[in-house]
Amino acid sequence: MSTSPSEPRNAETPHTLQVQAQYFDGRSARAHDVTLTLADSVLSLRGAAVQRDEDISMLRISEPMGRAPRLISFADGAHCEVRDHAGMERLLHATRFTDSWVVRLQQRWRWAAAAAGLAVAVVFTGYHWGLPAASEFIAFRLPDSVLAQLGSGALGTLDRAIFAPSKLPANRQDALRASFARLLPPEGSQARYALHFRDGGPVGANAMALPDGSIVVTDQLVALARHDEEILAVLAHELGHIDRRHGLRMLIQGSIVAFVVSWYIGDVSSVAAGVPTLLLQARYSRDHEREADRYGAVMLKANGISPRRLADMLALLEAAHRDKAQKAEEGRQKEPGKAAAERGTERGSIGDYLASHPATRERIDTLNQGH
Ligand SMILES: [Zn+2]
């Protein structure tokens, strides 16, 4: 902003307003009579032995309190005392100092609050909506070659860590494969799958869908079922997970979170190493389970099988895993030392069917209502 004295603006008020004050240099107690003027936010002091110009933003100006002089404090310890309150008020007001200062501060607060609110909103929507949406977007655009790689890696990891080769006779495996292959998937379903049988070992009766379309069914689940349609019902449910790419989406979501966190921490390479872990820790959301249940129910009905078969199998699985948990708890009470070790391995495994399949009771009711 120009401060040329020929400008008419300057002739109007700021330069013409003067206020008398006393200046103390902060080193001696001597008071200097000075005249204050204010122009373009620069406060000028003029006196017999004083000539000082300071930007007003560098000064602290006390609020008027009764008859006490207002203090204008300088950074170097000097100060002015102003007894002419009305004149001081006019001076500050004429340059709109008071207004703009208050307004500026208010605006700054408003901006800070808005920025904080925005940050919270971004993180919240990002996590609850944006992240799943981004994961879904990516999941449905990944080429099959990438899926195949992810899946084979995953099954390999699970085989090394948890599973043993299936003890089901080959003809029993083939019969189940053929039964499931005969079922028509729901209209529009693109899901491609490959069915694998494994001895579940520590995970017991279980079934899971891997990102590449591999469905793993444990011998224990086959043994638990009272009817083959119950096994087919679980397979239909797992096919629903594959069709909606739930596992892949969880994996991508976990990777994004891990990437962002490690980027923030500064160690991106750990993300790649962590992919198998992410896969094992993946938990489907309730929405994913509902979606897979709906898919399974539609598929079963279209092929003349009651969705109750899925509800029955869920109930069997829940009961079996509750028994298992109870036995483990009893074992723990008998042998506390061994128990701690067991707990460690259990926590790291994908085996907890109830944890990976939440709200079983609610799902059973929904399926039974549906028929
Ligand atoms: Zn599921």
**Gap between the terminal Cα atoms of the chain:** 79
Cα(184) to ligand 1 centroid in Å equals 19
Mean pLDDT over 118-138 rounds to: 72
Number of H helices and number of E strands within the chain?
A: 15, 11
The yes-or-no verdict on residue 123 having pLDDT over 70 is no
What does DSSP assign to residue 7? S
d(CA 251, CA 259): 12
Cα(279) to ligand 1 centroid in Å equals 14
Cα(135) to ligand 1 centroid in Å equals 18
Is 236 within 8 Å of 304 (Cβ atoms)?
no
d(CA 179, CA 313): 17
**Which position has the token pair 């006019």?**
90
The yes-or-no verdict on residue 207 having pLDDT over 50 is yes
Confidence band of 249 (pLDDT split at 50, 70, 90): confident
- Residue 219 burial (10 A CB sphere; 0-12, 13-18, 19+): buried
Cα angle: 296, vertex 297, 303; to 5 degrees: 90
The yes-or-no verdict on residue 15 having pLDDT over 80 is no
Q: CB under 8 Å to 81, separation ≥6 — which residues? A: 21, 22, 24, 31, 69, 70, 71
pLDDT given at position 8: 45
Cα angle: 77, vertex 81, 82; to 5 degrees: 145
Confidence band of 166 (pLDDT split at 50, 70, 90): very high
Q: Give one word for 66, left, alpha or beta, with left for phi > 0 and alpha for psi -120 to 50.
A: left
The yes-or-no verdict on residue 343 having pLDDT over 50 is no
Sign of CA pseudo-dihedral 17, 20, 21, 25: positive
pLDDT given at position 227: 96
**Mean of the per-residue pLDDT values of the chain:** 78
Cα(209) to ligand 1 centroid in Å equals 8
d(CA 39, CA 55): 10
pLDDT given at position 309: 95
Which domains, ranges and CATH numbers included, belong to the chain?
A: 8-95 (2.30.29.30), 142-369 (no CATH)
The yes-or-no verdict on residue 308 having pLDDT over 90 is yes
Mean pLDDT over 82-91 rounds to: 87
Determine the 3-state secondary structure of 227 from DSSP: coil
pLDDT given at position 157: 81
Cα(284) to ligand 1 centroid in Å equals 7
Look at 283 and 46; give whichever has higher pLDDT.
46
pLDDT given at position 138: 80
Mean pLDDT over 5-16 rounds to: 47
Look at 176 and 97; give whichever has higher pLDDT.
176
pLDDT given at position 102: 55
Cα(177) to ligand 1 centroid in Å equals 19
pLDDT given at position 298: 95
Confidence band of 14 (pLDDT split at 50, 70, 90): very low
Closest residue by Cα to residue 297 from 196, 365, 225, 219: 365
Look at 28 and 340; give whichever has higher pLDDT.
28
Mean pLDDT over 130-156 rounds to: 76
pLDDT given at position 60: 83
Cα(174) to ligand 1 centroid in Å equals 23
Cα(96) to ligand 1 centroid in Å equals 67
Of 73-77, 226-230, 268-272, the one with minimum mean pLDDT is 268-272
Q: CB under 8 Å to 341, separation ≥6 — which residues? A: none
Is 335 within 8 Å of 329 (Cβ atoms)?
no
d(CA 210, CA 194): 10
Q: How far is CA 342 from the centre of its chain?
A: 32
Of 11-25, 36-50, 173-187, 216-230, the one with minimum mean pLDDT is 11-25
Cα(251) to ligand 1 centroid in Å equals 15
Mean pLDDT over 160-187 rounds to: 94
Report the 10 Å Cβ neighbour count for 68.
11
Sign of CA pseudo-dihedral 312, 313, 314, 320: positive
Encoded amino acid at 338, one letter: K
**Which position has the token pair 């977007």?**
137
Cα(221) to ligand 1 centroid in Å equals 14
Cα(132) to ligand 1 centroid in Å equals 17
Is 254 within 8 Å of 236 (Cβ atoms)?
no
Most confident of 62-71, 137-146, 291-300: 291-300
Of 148-162, 244-258, 274-288, the one with minimum mean pLDDT is 274-288
pTM over 0.85: no
Cα(15) to ligand 1 centroid in Å equals 79
Q: Which stretch of DSSP H or E encloses residue 328?
A: helix 308-334
- Residue percentage of the chain with pLDDT more than 90: 30
